[in-house]
Amino acid sequence: MQRQEDAGEKVDIEVPPKYSSADFARPSYWKARGKLDVPKERFISYPQAGRDSDGRELLGWAGWDHLAQAQALATIYLDRKTQEAWPAHRRLPLLAGLVEIEPWLHQWHTDDNPAYMGSPAAFFSTFIDAELAQLSSDRSALALLRGVPELP
């Protein structure tokens, strides 16, 4: 319905329910989300994506839009590929992260952008497919990593 409204159609979208602490499995989840179940987190965690020489957890800013997240993940991926010489099994989760935000790139970032010689959404889809081809892998392998069934 949100997409219909975004397209200019008149729709009646109900106000989301308010939650209480009893609706969450742990009190810490309630503190992080609140009565409207809106994230209050300030950072995005990229598990096991930090440099081997560092050992610290790699964090990004939760305020990034999907394009900024894709840029960050692609930059991390390319660094781990070229500077750290990570093998395929360690780089695939980073590509899975890109695939996870890919639908939002295609929803919000399809306009031509000179920095991408076309649309950023198309650029990142092509990037994912090219890297998968180099790794002799495909999107079904990424779906398995993400623990979700591949969409048709």
At residue 109, φ and ψ (nearest 5 deg) are -130, 55
How do residues 48-87 score in pLDDT, each as one tens digit? 999 999 888 999 988 899 999 999 999 999 999 999 999 9
At residue 25, φ and ψ (nearest 5 deg) are -65, -30
Q: Which helix (H) or strand (E) holds 126?
A: helix 120-134
Instruction: Flag the least confident range among 24-28, 37-41, 105-109.
Output: 37-41
